[in-house]
Amino acid sequence: MELEKRSPEEATFDVRRLPGLTPYAEGWELQRELVGLRGRDGIPDTLVLLEHAPVYTIGRAAKDASNLGAGEEYLKSLGAEVFWSDRGGDATFHGPGQLVGYPVLRLKKLDTHKYLRDLEELVILVLSDYGLEAGRHPEYTGVWVNGNKIAAIGVKFSSGRITSHGFALNVTTDLSWFDRITPCGIKGYGVTSLQKELNAGVSLPEVEERVVGRFRELFA
């Protein structure tokens, strides 16, 4: 995939790693703050990396809560939050063992299709570092391995062509959390993780480093 190249000045970006498990509302508020700062050129392009505390989120594509399975109260009884988000997409799960990336970037031009494909390419390249052949689905946004979804993508564009939200890559995620919903509103497909595909333990910090390296290649 041919990606738009940036000048050295524009290539500078910050990486913010949040420790522990971040409640979804805190991550959402942080993004709002960073988007405002980026819009005023108060910060450079920034990649936020984190793990969320267990949470089911619903994006703007959802017409109702039908993809939340038995409903919000049941999901809360499992120990997860339920959050209606302003990102694109439908229902998904975030939790421990899942690497979430929130790029806050000022795009040169607003090309939503290209940006989504670039985020998919980022994850595809990271997975290739582990010897996995990942790819796209012709109908659905995200990254797939052996017919199952390994990474979900949902984004938002603010004024000034500033991006927020991003991707969620299942690394060592407990996949049973996804059994309670219809992930991304897609029926007939399963979800998977890097650990499951490799049938081996995986270091989340190592995956983070690979994400940062590949992010630098694609967006710098």
Give me the active site residues, please. Answer: 184
Nearest of 96, 98, 99, 118 to residue 4 by alpha carbon: 118
Is the pLDDT at 1 greater than 50? The verdict is no
pLDDT digits (tens, 9 = 90+) for 166-180: 999 999 999 999 999
pLDDT bucket at 11, cuts 50 / 70 / 90: low
pLDDT digits (tens, 9 = 90+) for 45-91: 999 999 999 999 999 998 898 999 989 999 999 999 999 999 999 99
| Count of H-run helices and E-run strands, the chain | 6, 9
Average pLDDT of the chain is 93
In Å, what is the CA distance from 154 to each residue of 85, 164, 168? 10, 9, 9
pLDDT bucket at 195, cuts 50 / 70 / 90: very high
Could you give the 3-state DSSP secondary structure of residue 24?
Answer: helix
Domains of the chain: 8-219 (3.30.930.10)
- What's the rounded Cα separation, in Å, for the pair 217 and 47? 13
Number of alpha carbons in the 13 Å side-chain half-sphere of residue 204: 20
For the question of whether the overall pTM of this predicted structure is more than 0.95, the answer is: no
pLDDT digits (tens, 9 = 90+) for 209-220: 999 999 999 987
Residues in the chain: 220
